[in-house]
Amino acid sequence: QVQLVESGGGLVQPGGSLRLSCAASGSIFSIKAMGWYRQAPGKQRELVAVVTSGGSTNYAASVKGRFTISRDNAKNTVYLQMNSLKPEDTAVYYCNADVVITLRANVLYWGQGTQVTVSS
């Protein structure tokens, strides 16, 4: 079993910043990629950002230039620095990890989610 635990969500004013963290633990051989998704009420879950073990990154157009994803491979931890937050960024943010559990198999895992609310 693999567990992902998110932290860092909360309530901030427009223009403010938050830093989300997600740590993976359990039966992990390695992690190919880690990322963040978000889902607002009544909307589809969408990709926010992803980073591979090699350091390649990808961002949703709506957050590019404002959010930065990074990871500490040694700690199996991914971070999402969110700056210049807007009310439309309000959502539950979910951590995701593509975990290699054996030399020939990998599994996608999800965290429980952390609420981010941007409001005056």
* SS3 state at 63: coil
Could you report the per-residue pLDDT of 46-64, keeping only the tens digit for each? 999 999 989 999 999 999 9
* SS3 state at 57: strand
**Six token digits for residue 30:** 């390695």
Instruction: Please tell me the distance from the alpha carbon of residue 79 to that of residue 51, in angstroms, as a whole number.
Output: 10
Could you report the per-residue pLDDT of 33-45, keeping only the tens digit for each? 999 999 999 999 9
Read off the pLDDT band of 72 (50, 70, 90). Answer: very high
Residue 101 reports pLDDT greater than 90? no
Nearest residue to 46 (alpha-carbon basis) of 29, 31, 58, 30: 58
Read off the pLDDT band of 11 (50, 70, 90). Answer: very high
Residue found under tokens 């607002």:
40
Number of residues that this document lists for the chain: 120
Residue 1 reports pLDDT greater than 90? no
